[in-house]
Structure formats: structure tokens, C-alpha cells
Homo-oligomer: A and B are copies of this chain.
Amino acid sequence: MIHKRSNLKPAIWDDFFRGNRLACARLITAVDNHPDWIPEILDRLIPRQKGAIRIGITGPPGVGKSTVTAALARRAVKAGHTVGILAVDPTSPFSGGAFLGDRVRMQDLGDDGRVFIRSLASREGHGGLSPSTPYAADVLDAFGLDRIFIETVGVGQAELDVLTCVDLTVLVLQPVTGDVIQALKAGILEVADLFFVNKADLPGTDALLESLKFLFEISRPREDRPVPPVMAASAREDRGLDEAYAEIERLIQALVQSGRYDEKKQARLEREIQLAIREYLWERYAAEAGAHDKLRSVVERLLRDRQSPFPYIRDMCARVRLELVKGKASGKNDD
């Protein structure tokens, strides 16, 4: 990860740790707009994090994720938690109307003072989720919030990537044909900890519940994970939400007590460190090999001559000399 000094005002840190909401909003904007400031910001935040629980709310478009998120957040506040909500603005003007409606409803929540709501701009390209979402959650965690809801746009690979940063995933479905299959194909079945069947007043609910049951029977669940609970509810009519929220808190307790909470956190951090070092290695190689300029002409030659790329790859790899000079990887750069 490239590190650049931010131009954040030094006073922002005091403000932030004193609970200033504007400072919190500014730091989220900073991680969202300036990826190269993230190391500096996290260096400050991580020692102050208390270990919030991050809850992903995912599901196909139109199932009512925002309404479900707001309803669960309200219950978390009532139970004495402080709550953060991260939602992603779809670039599509299609769902703009409905989403704005939800946002207004959630804004009521925001006035409470114990809830911090933030939309992240969605990014060009696949899936539409901002890659800064996990870091925005890091900001909220350091801000002292202990339940952070992250609402995704849809169900897909980009969502799955973001869900690797959460502790618990709620999959919201509705009684409409096709959604279950779509979620199944997207691999969401493997990551969902709770199935939330919304709009359970609509016809087709029983069939959906049956097919989920069937699904769990025929698919071998991962051995280290129990069959996830299925809750039927109607967020719009506010039915079944108390039960769903209680189930989420029960899952959180089980997660922490079983040690899986710590394991997930470790795996996440390990992956993050690996990705950062991988990126650095490529940049070093590219600078050394002039790859940014030369690779294009190599490729043109390979295609013109109908040659396999592997001899080139093998040659270039064979030419790499990589060593680690001595140094204390202690957290201080002392060489």
C-alpha cells in the first residue's frame, strides 16, 4: 500500500477521540477519497479500537436491506449499543427513490446521537462497492461504536470481498423465485450466518422456507459451521424483528466464545499484510524491469510470432534476485 502524508489538520485526532461526529465523517471521507492516507490514519486508530462487531447485511436488490438494517439498528440502540451504519449509494438512478426513502427513515435514527450513518459512494466497475468500506468500518470502530452494520448493494463477488471484512453476515431474501438460486451461485450460502426472509407476509414465503430447508439438507454444510438459522419477518410491518435481533446477538456471543471471532480477525489481517507486500514486490519488479513500458512490446511480439508466454515468464522469473537485508521488523524502521 502506497503511503503518503495526509493533509489532515492535527486537531482532527483530538476532536475525533473526543467523539466529534464531524471529525468522524471527515476521516471516513479521507479513507474513501485518499487510499494512500489509509496507513497514516490506521496507525492512529488501531490502538484505540475496542473490537466492534461488524455485521454485513446482504441480499439481492429490492429485498428491503435498508429497511431491515434500520430495524435491526434500532433494536441494537435499544439494547444499549452504539451503532454505525455503512451503506453504499447505488450509482443507478433506478433504485434512487426507494433508497432515499430508506435513508430518510435511517436519518431519524441518526438524530439519536448513538447512531452514526454514512453512505459511501459506489465505485465504477464490478459490484459497485467502495473498496474503502473495511477502512470506514475501522474508523467507526475507533470512534467507539460497538455494532457496525454494513449494507451491500447486491449479491456478487464484490459483495463477497467486502463480506470478508465482517464478523457476521445476514442474507436478506424475499419470497420471489430465483433469488435463492442466485445467492447460491454467488457462493453466499457459504458465508451467510443468518437467513432473513423479509416480506414474509407475501405469498411464496412457505415455499421459500421449504427450499432453504431442502438446500441445507442436500448441501454439505462446512464442518466447522452449524446450519444457519432462518428467520421469517416483515421489516416494513415490523414483525419478527425482535426475534431476528435476539438471534444475531446470540450468534455474536457464540462467535466470540468459540474463538472464531479472533480467528477471522487473524485471517483478515494476514491477508491484508500479504496483499500489501505483494503489491510492493510487483512495483519493485516493474521499476527494475521497466515492465510498465516494456511489457506491452513483449506482448505484441509474442502475439505476432504466435509464441507461448511461458518461456518469457520463466526467463524473467529466473533473472529475479530477491533477498531480505537484516533489520528489526519491530514496528520501527531503524535501518
Binding site for B on A (CB under 8 A): 1, 3, 39, 42-43, 45-47, 49, 60-62, 90, 92-95, 125-128, 153-158, 160-161, 176, 178-179, 181-182, 184-187, 190, 218, 262, 265-266, 269-270, 272-274, 276-278, 280-282, 284-285, 288-289, 291, 295-296, 298-300, 302-303, 306-333, 335
In the complex the two chains form, is B266's CB within 8 Å of A296's CB? yes
In the complex the two chains form, is A306's CB within 8 Å of B47's CB? yes
Measured between alpha carbons, how far is A312 from B280 in the docked complex, in Å? 13
Measured between alpha carbons, how far is A227 from B71 in the docked complex, in Å? 41
List 14 extra interface pairs beyond A269-B309, A277-B313, CB under 8 A.
A3-B314, A43-B308, A62-B178, A92-B185, A128-B187, A265-B303, A270-B295, A280-B313, A281-B281, A298-B329, A311-B332, A312-B331, A314-B333, A319-B326
In chain B, what residue has the closest Cβ to A128?
B185
In angstroms, how far is the closest chain B Cβ from the Cβ of A332?
7
Measured between alpha carbons, how far is A147 from B157 in the docked complex, in Å? 29
Q: Assess A1 versus B310: contact at CB under 8 Å? Given A319-B325, A324-B288.
A: yes
What residues on B are CB-neighbors of A322 within 8 Å? 281, 284-285, 288, 320-322
**What are 15 residue pairs bridging A and B, where the CB atoms are less than 8 Å apart in the complex?**
A42-B308, A46-B308, A127-B157, A157-B160, A178-B179, A266-B303, A269-B302, A274-B282, A281-B285, A281-B322, A312-B331, A315-B327, A315-B332, A318-B335, A319-B335
In the complex the two chains form, is A324's CB within 8 Å of B320's CB? yes
In chain B, what residue has the closest Cβ to A50?
B306
In the complex the two chains form, is A1's CB within 8 Å of B313's CB? yes
In the complex the two chains form, is B160's CB within 8 Å of A126's CB? yes
What residues on B are CB-neighbors of A156 within 8 Å? 155-157, 185-186
Q: Which of B45, B60, B307, B315 contacts A182 (CB 8 A)?
A: B60
In chain B, what residue has the closest Cβ to A323?
B321
Measured between alpha carbons, how far is A308 from B273 in the docked complex, in Å? 11
Q: Which of B128, B157, B310 contacts A3 (CB 8 A)?
A: B310
Q: Assess A94 versus B181: contact at CB under 8 Å? Given A277-B285, A322-B285, A322-B320.
A: yes
Q: Assess A327 versus B318: contact at CB under 8 Å? Given A61-B182, A281-B282.
A: yes
What residues on B are CB-neighbors of A266 within 8 Å? 296, 299-300, 303
In chain B, what residue has the closest Cβ to A288?
B324
Q: Assess A277 versus B181: contact at CB under 8 Å? Given A125-B187, A288-B324.
A: no
Measured between alpha carbons, how far is A321 from B323 in the docked complex, in Å? 5
In chain B, what residue has the closest Cβ to A63?
B178
List 8 A-B pairs, minimum CB-CB distance, nearest first: A157-B157, A39-B310, A126-B187, A154-B185, A281-B281, A311-B331, A315-B329, A43-B308
Measured between alpha carbons, how far is A333 from B161 in the docked complex, in Å? 39
In the complex the two chains form, is A303's CB within 8 Å of B262's CB? yes
Measured between alpha carbons, how far is A174 from B6 in the docked complex, in Å? 49
Q: Assess A320 versus B284: contact at CB under 8 Å? Given A269-B302, A306-B46.
A: yes
